[in-house]
Amino acid sequence: MKKLKIVTIGGGSSYTPELVEGIINRYESLPVTQLWLVDCEEGKHKLEIVGALAKRMIKKAGVAIELHMTQDRKEALQDADFVITQLRVGLLEARIKDERIPLKYGLIGQETNGAGGLFKALRTIPVILDICQDMKELCPEAWLINFTNPAGIVTEAVNRYSPIKKVIGLCNVPVGMQKAIADTLETDMKNIRVRFGGLNHMVYATEIEMNGENKMPYVLERWGVQSMSNIKGIEWHNAFVRELGVVPSPYHRYYYMAKETLEDELEKFKQNGTRAETVKKIEDELFELYKDETLEEKPKLLEQRGGAYYSDAACNLIDSIYNDSGDIQVVNTLNRGAMEEFEYDEVVEISAMITKNGPIPLTVGKLPKAVKGLVQQIKSFELAACEAAVTGDYNKALLALMINPLVQSQSYAKVVLDELLEAHKSYLPQFYNKSVMYLR
């Protein structure tokens, strides 16, 4: 049996128990012998708590997995087969700023969209690129599985600016959409075939089949309050969805229902604070549960964290690459001509066949004209965000913010940009110290 080594950077994450559960459940097909959990000094305390729970889970399962915890990333990466990144630069305190500051100026505050999404990318991309440099030296044949948000922008940056080409981005949104589509059809997920195309948090279901029959018209007619725990379920008008011709994701509410979503966020902001502050409370509760020395499994509360199925999706992907399964999964990968709206070398979120050599994207063809402009505008934002992150160029960051459809204000864009740059100054050295350059 091959010794299989998985390294998780951001190992102190509250999602880690789900990852450990996924590895344990697949032990027969995915014989992991070493699991390394890596975190930084800020995350040391959480790493110790999560690591102790992971050890209890492994012991209960009776599987021969060595668990290592470390703050030495290079020690962990040596000869790794798979590297998972699930980090948050600046912890949840940074996300709170990403959401509060735009809302103060009447702009949507969200961790992966608009101004908040831009700044999460600006903080994250340099760190991920440094990890890629270490991987080139220590485990050049390893696969990088990224579900650090914004997953699409991060994966785009790795492909453009790092020496690592074996990279795949992941998101849990398509999994949630498939579950909702199956519920709409009153069947199990295994009985349907859904194809996806678009961008991360901008993906559409483009085909739906059940027993060889096209079920897209049926689903479009009934697509209603499909939501996620971190996005309010505002009901779609069926006539709009039907005319759109493809099934939108929950995150499309930020664009198609921007006014209602902003009003809802502002109301919650006044009453209970941002979504980030709610998440922090849930995370605090989770870590109190994780401390319980009798706990030996993933707690149910984790599903409220907003990222359910992320880690399970990562385990599915790793299992399929390792076993050359050829099954279909939704991933962030190079377009390679599968979608006409994007360049060959641009990253898209798409249904793909998973092989030992990586994803082979399935041809989607043309998206409806009604959605083409929006996805291309978001891709232009993603590319500008990547360039701003690696160069530390203020004007490129301003460009990215200005072309994002959730901003649409020259004066507010500059004010929000300046305030967020100052708020995150310690995590944005490329903007303040010009001797720091991440462009490879």
- With contact defined as beta carbons under 8 Å apart, do 235 and 147 qualify? no
Pairwise CA distance, residues 200 & 276, whole Å: 20
Number of Cβ atoms within 10 Å of the Cβ of 397: 26
CA 144-145-150 angle, to 5 degrees, is: 115
Confidence of residue 440 (pLDDT cuts 50, 70, 90): very low
Band (439; pLDDT cuts 50, 70, 90):
very low
Considering the candidates 161, 251, 309, 310, report the single residue annotated as catalytic.
Answer: 251
3-state SS of the chain?
CCCEEEEEECCCCCCHHHHHHHHHHCCCCCCEEEEEEECCHHHHHHHHHHHHHHHHHHHHHCCCCEEEEECCHHHHHCCCCEEEECCCCCHHHHHHHHHHHHHHCCCCCCCCCHHHHHHHHHHHHHHHHHHHHHHHHHCCCCEEEECCCCHHHHHHHHHHHCCCCCEEECCCHHHHHHHHHHHHCCCCHHHEEEEEEEECCEEEEEEEEECCEECHHHHHHHCCCCCECCECCCCCCHHHHHHHCCECCHHHHHHHCHHHHHHHHHHHHHHCCCHHHHHHHHHHHHHHHHHCCCCCCCCHHHHHHCCCCHHHHHHHHHHHHHHCCCCEEEEEEECCCCECCCCCCCEEEEEEEEECCEEEECCCECCCHHHHHHHHHHHHHHHHHHHHHHHCCHHHHHHHHHCCCCCCCHHHHHHHHHHHHHHCHHHCHHHHCCCCCCCC
* pLDDT more than 90, % of the chain: 81
Alpha carbon distance 333, 121 (integer Å):
17
Q: What's the pLDDT tens digit per position in 296-354?
A: 988 877 776 655 566 788 999 999 999 999 999 999 999 999 999 999 999 999 999 99
> Where does the pLDDT of residue 228 fall: very low under 50, low under 70, confident under 90, or very high at 90 and above?
very low
Q: What is the pTM (predicted TM-score) of this model?
A: 0.94
Amino acid at 15: Y
Of 12, 8, 78, 82, nearest to 41 by C-alpha is 12
Domain definitions of the chain by residue range: 4-169
Nearest to 98 by CA among 355, 274, 260: 274
pLDDT tens-digit map of 89-144: 999 999 999 999 999 999 998 889 999 999 999 999 999 999 999 999 999 999 99
Q: Please check the confidence at residue 436 and state whether its pLDDT lies above 80.
A: no
What is the C-alpha separation between 278 and 61, in angstroms, rounded? 33
Nearest to 348 by CA among 200, 206, 201: 200
| Residue 265, φ and ψ in degrees, nearest 5 | -65, -45
User: Computed from CA positions of residues 72, 73, 78, 82, in that sequence, does the dihedral angle turn out positive or negative?
Assistant: positive
Yes or no: say if 215 and 221 are a contact pair by the CB < 8 Å rule. no
Architecture of 4-169 per CATH?
A: 3-Layer(aba) Sandwich (3.40)
User: Which of 213, 235, 234, 216 has the alpha carbon at shortest distance from 224?
Assistant: 235
pLDDT tens-digit map of 367-399: 999 999 999 999 999 999 999 999 999 999 999
Q: What pLDDT, on a 0 to 100 scale, did the predictor assign at position 198?
A: 98
The predicted structure's pLDDT at residue 360: 98
Active site residue 251: yes
pLDDT over 70, % of the chain: 94
